[in-house]
Homo-oligomer: A and B are copies of this chain.
């Protein structure tokens, strides 16, 4: 019991290293998140989710990540937690607001109950996502947990803005391709619940 680690797989390190230093175009940011999700499926390292963190003022890329639950054997290694944690670990700062202006998380799907809570503790100031939670559940079969109906207002009340819609069609395609691989037994659905 000395701790735990998440190691970015080679493909993710290469993909992250190959990103521009700055991405200002919101469509391009979401495309990165979506294609990280797609690559995550292709590489078999976790669920169909990808995320990007940028400085909301300069567009500087602070981190890129993907779901690594199955490859890291850690149930919390969702794309949002992985991406937030890699940026915090590198900067030695649990509060991303201390190392960037208006830190912004872009993710291909609405955060689950856990990641919703993680956002509030992280210092993120803006969230943009593509697929809605209900669609994630309907398409993939994941249980996203007890997300309150007014979750977006709960974030806004805490100084975190929320935007949705960009990249949604592509996000649905990627989630559907994941579901087909689950249905044919190629990939696991990592719900931990008993029933």
Contact = CB atoms under 8 A, between A and B. Distances in A.
A118 B116 CA distance: 11
Contacts of A8: 1-3
Interface of A is mostly: mixed
A81 to B, nearest CB: 6
B120 A193 contact: yes
A105 to B, nearest CB: 12
Contacts of A146: 116-117, 148, 150-151, 154
Interface in A15-35: 16-17
The bracket for how many chain A residues form the interface is 35 or more
Nearest to A63: B1
A16 B96 CA distance: 31
A190 B96 CA distance: 12
A131 to B, nearest CB: 18
A73 interface: yes
Contact of A85 (B74, B124, B193): B74
